[in-house]
Amino acid sequence: MAKKSWMYAVLEAVQYEMRQDKNMIWIFELTPPVASTPGLPVINLEKEFGRKRVVNTGIDENWMASCVLGAGLAGSKAVTYIPYQGNCMCFQVIQNHAGKLRSMTGGVASMPIVFLLEMTGQTPGFAGQHSDYEIDTYYAHIPGVKTVVPSTPTDAKGMMAAAIRDPNPVCYLYPAGLREMMEDVPNEQFTTPLDKAAVRTTGSDITIVGSGGGMPEVLKATEALQKQGMKVEAIDLRSLKPMDTETLVKSVQKTKHLLTVDQSYYTLCPGAEVIARVAENVRGARFKRVAFPDAPPPASPEMFLWMRPNADHIVAAAKKLVG
């Protein structure tokens, strides 16, 4: 156990698996697979495993994702780290090939692969393409890939290990806004299931469901609300597909109030799916969504930060819903 950043935790999981499997591949573009943390050895996948297995490529994210898919089809485990700028450049090959090939081949295709898709949502000033947080929906609608979005260094490690060992293609979303998050993470390898939501706090007044980059604000709001006496059940979705309906339904059966929180655009944000699943299964509950408006994030910090859901927004919405 040691304090680790998100990326250190992830690379630790990857390093372990690459040591186990000498065929395993890592493809990157801008982000060298290097991380360090005080008291632990520096991880540098490129140095350790060499340039035949770990490659820095030109600016072609579609090639990166396709390469990993082809490696999988040839029987090799493979992971690619797609920087957020290119996280839709590779959309078609994941949606139309990786997602469908198991079905289209009648179960024959081998795809032990992971698409590590960076998302932003974090940077005021960068505007539109560099501050958006939206791919959760795009990737979660695809059948045949598992789409997960960890929100803590510990889950990041456990879910990366699980994703690499999973024989299915996994879209592993990395909200880059969590880059600086530090927490105690076990040093040994472990796996975290790819299909289970995490109940972060239990409560009976309201269920608040978030995921990925939005989770820190959900937890902040939960703390504030609890201080004010509201019993909040805060759920971290973790897996968008498959979605853990059972945990969601059980919670709202109890609380009868469901608030979803997304940094993704409102229309068809993951929260819409959460509400729909619960509404199909729980009668008489009350529902509300907090999400980024259906607008690209503007550059100006004044505009951007006002639009991105934060703990204050969540607290106010929860009070309104329950009150």
Partner 1 sequence: MSELEHDEVSRETPESDQIASPSRRTFLKGVAGAGAAVSLISKGAWANGEIGFWAKDLPNDKLTEMFRTIVRIRWHERTMVDKMITDPKYRGYNHFYAGQEAVATGVCAALNNKGPFDQLDLVYSTHRPTGHAIAKGVDMKKMAAENDFRATGLNGGYAGEMHLSDKSCGFIGADGMIGPGHVIATGSAFAFRARGSKQVSVVFGGDGTYATPHFHAALNNAALLQLPFIYVLENNLYHQYAHYSYSCPMKDIADAARTYRIPGVVVDGQDVFQVYNAAKTAVDRARAGEGPTLIEAKTYRYYNHWGAPGAEAGQLGAFGYDPLAISSFRPEREVRAWMQRDPVDICRNTLINWGVLTRAQADEIEAAAKKEAIEAFAWADQQPFCKPEDGLKNVFVEGVVPARQFG
Query: How far apart are alpha carbons 143 and 305 in whole angstroms?
Result: 33
Closest residue to bound ligand TPP by CB:
85
Stretches 40-48, 98-106, 150-158, 247-255: which one binds partner 1 (CB under 8 A)? 98-106
Binding mask 134-163 for its own copies (x = CB under 8 A): x--xx-xxxxx-------------------
Of 195, 171, 191, nearest to 16 by C-alpha is: 191
Q: Does the footprint of partner 1 cover residue 128 (CB under 8 A)?
A: yes
Tell which positions 145-184 bind partner 1, by CB under 8 A: 146, 167-168
Q: Does the footprint of its own copies cover residue 124 (CB under 8 A)?
A: no
Answer whether 237's CB lies under 8 Å from 199's CB.
no
Answer whether 155's CB lies under 8 Å from 285's CB.
no
Residues that bind ligand TPP (CB under 6 A): 30, 59, 83, 85-86, 89
Of the pair 86, 175, the CB lying nearest ligand TPP is at: 86
Q: What is the closest distance, in whole angstroms, from the C-beta atom of residue 323 to partner 1 in the complex?
A: 12
Stretches 17-25, 86-94, 172-180, 246-254: which one binds its own copies (CB under 8 A)? 86-94
33 preceded by a cis bond (ω within 30 of 0): no
CB neighbours of 287 closer than 8 A, spacing ≥ 6?
Answer: 258, 259, 260, 275, 278, 279
Tell which positions 213-252 bind partner 1, by CB under 8 A: 242
Q: Does the footprint of partner 1 cover residue 258 (CB under 8 A)?
A: no
Q: What is the closest distance, in whole angstroms, from the C-beta atom of residue 316 to partner 1 in the complex?
A: 6
Tell which positions 12-51 bind partner 1, by CB under 8 A: 22-23, 25, 30, 32
Tell which positions 222-261 bind its own copies, by CB under 8 A: 240-243
Q: What is the closest distance, in whole angstroms, from the C-beta atom of residue 53 to partner 1 in the complex?
A: 5
Of the pair 97, 157, the CB lying nearest its own copies is at: 97
The residue with tokens 């395993």 is: 24
Of the pair 93, 311, the CB lying nearest ligand TPP is at: 93
Of 224, 250, 225, 226, nearest to 235 by C-alpha is: 250
Q: Does the footprint of its own copies cover residue 190 (CB under 8 A)?
A: no
Tell which positions 102-121 bind its own copies, by CB under 8 A: 103-104
Q: Integer distance in angstroms from the first to the last C-alpha of the chain?
A: 42
Within 10 A of 82 (CB to CB), how many other CB atoms are there? 29
Choose which of 246, 294, 302, 312 interacts with its own copies (CB under 8 A): 294
Q: What is the closest distance, in whole angstroms, from the C-beta atom of residue 133 to ligand TPP in the complex?
A: 17
Q: Does the footprint of its own copies cover residue 275 (CB under 8 A)?
A: yes
Angle in degrees, CA 297, 276, 218, rounded to 5: 50
Percent of the chain as helix, strand, coil, to the nearest 5: 40, 25, 35
Angle in degrees, CA 219, 309, 8, rounded to 5: 55
- Residue 273 interacts, among its own copies, partner 1, ligand TPP, none and using kind-specific CB cut-offs from 5 to 8 Å, with its own copies
Q: Does the footprint of its own copies cover residue 288 (CB under 8 A)?
A: yes
Helices (H), the chain: 6-20, 45-49, 61-73, 91-93, 99-104, 128-131, 135-140, 153-165, 215-227, 245-255, 270-281, 301-307, 311-322
Answer whether 29's CB lies under 8 Å from 57's CB.
yes
Q: Does the footprint of its own copies cover residue 298 (CB under 8 A)?
A: yes
